[in-house]
Amino acid sequence: MLEFRTQGFNSYAVKYSPFFDSRIAVASAANFGLVGNGRLYVLGLTPQGIVAEKWFDTQDSLYDLCWSETHENQCVVAAGDGSIKLFDIALDEFPVQSWQEHKREVFAVHWNLVAKDTFCSSSWDGTLKIWSPERSDSLITIPTHSCTYSASFSPHSPSMLSSVSSDSHLRIFDLRTPSSASNHLTASIPLHSPPQQRPQQAAAAAVPPSEALTHDWNKYRAPIIAAAGVDRLIRTFDIRSPAQGPLAVLPGHEYAVRKVAWSPHLSDVLLSASYDMTCRVWTDGSALGAVGGQQQQQRQQEQEEGGIRMGMGMGGAGGDPLAFGGGRQLGSMGRHTEFVMGVDWCLFGAEGWCASAGWDERLLVWDVRAIMG
């Protein structure tokens, strides 16, 4: 495990470069993001450890970042003063572009992985905006009417994007639809909705609405999204069936889940970061052979034959009555000593390498396979 100390700055987000396996960026804030400056770190992984290649200070806290998909040296950051800034790490001190349209804190930015010429942002002001780095103003503004913590383009379509908000809803937008038709909204899924009751299973326990803080699109299964937030549960959804409820419910975190990220290598594995100071790796139960082989499948069949069903109300994973869908925790990493705010997978090399960052002023680079039981 490698470590870098962001002295005086508490991390909010971490992202691997899509061009280099040895470059990581971290968005951070002084004084836990409550007041003070922000700093964008650009770090390099070297044989001597992690070194700071460059950093940029900003007037307000930084809450998120994303790398450009077209320019290897450019990075977008989301700031607490409502601004969005584009930095070029080949240059010094100042951003090459800055936008100021959001009325409140910008909490998420995400680059379009398919079209590669746009990125989106979401803000506490209840809007999503789509931007081009070549334009000085936004291309599209989409109201969500709720404090929006996370926004993301689909990795499978250049025109679909999603968001989760404080009203406990996952929203799907398709820019191919007319703007007059509900502002491109095609689905609004209540995250707290119970799973559909299956034959010979107890009814699902009711869960009250709570703020949704994070979500991510599956990299292999186009309609699958994972979402999580204040209620500590990770859920997966199929956006083709908005009324179906969650496909899987994964309990285990002790406090709010701040970040989820699907593996770029395995279709059923995801990573989470939480205020309980842990990072955890999960399978959603959709590909047992990929994570446990025939032994896992046989064990599940034996449990079902013995009356221990994997559904809601029947003590799914680990006997938790909220578990549903056959997913389970594969491992936990507890080396952080404060809230873990961000995690990201490395796209290159051996599958399993990731980075995590938190309020303990530490970035950790580690191998998920080392904690999988």
pLDDT over 70 at 158, yes or no: yes
- pLDDT at residue 291, as a whole number: 37
CA–CA distance, 276 with 257 (Å, rounded to integer): 8
| Partners of residue 173 on adjacent β-strands | 161, 185
* Tens of pLDDT, residues 203-240: 666 688 999 999 999 999 999 999 999 999 999 999 99
Q: What pLDDT does 199 receive? A: 64
Q: What gap in Å lies between CA 149 and CA 144, rounded to an integer?
A: 11
Please say whether the beta carbons of 123 and 165 come within 8 A. no
Q: In this predicted model, which residue has the larger pLDDT, 351 or 297?
A: 351
The whole-number average pLDDT for the span 298-313 is 37
Asked if residue 17 has pLDDT above 60, the reply is: yes
Q: What is the pLDDT of residues 30-54, one digit of tens each?
A: 999 999 999 999 999 999 999 999 9
Cβ contacts of 293 within 8 Å, gap of 6 or more: none
Mean pLDDT of the chain: 90
pLDDT of residue 289: 42
Question: pLDDT tens across 248-289, in order?
Answer: 999 999 999 999 999 999 999 999 999 999 999 999 999 864
Q: Residue 205's beta-bridge partner residues?
A: none
Q: What is the pLDDT of residues 109-127, one digit of tens each?
A: 999 999 999 999 999 999 9
Helix (H) or strand (E) holding 85: strand 83-88
Whether the CB-CB separation of 250 and 214 falls below 8 Å is answered with no
Average pLDDT over residues 291-310: 39
Would you say 105 and 122 are in contact if contact means Cβ atoms under 8 Å apart? Answer: no
Q: Model pTM?
A: 0.91
Local confidence band at 176 (pLDDT 50, 70, 90 cut-offs): very high
pLDDT at 313 over 80: no
Residue 174's nearest CA partner among 190, 165, 161 is 161
pLDDT at 373 over 80: no
Determine the length of the chain: 373
347 by DSSP, 3-state: which? coil
Distance CA 315, CA 308 (A): 7
Strands ordered across the beta sheet of 257-262: 257-262, 269-274, 279-283, 328-333
User: What is the structure's pLDDT at 202?
Assistant: 61
pLDDT recorded at residue 284: 95
Could you write out the DSSP letters of every residue in 186-223?
A: EEEEETTPPPPPPTT-PPPPP-----EEEEEE-SSSTT
Span 164-188, average pLDDT: 93
pLDDT at 303: 41
Q: Is 104 left (phi over 0), alpha (psi -120 to 50) or beta?
A: beta
84-106 pLDDT tens trace: 999 999 998 899 999 999 999 99
Share of the chain above pLDDT 90, in %: 82
pLDDT digits (tens, 9 = 90+) for 179-205: 887 899 999 999 999 887 766 566 666
Supply the pLDDT for residue 306.
38
pLDDT at 288: 63
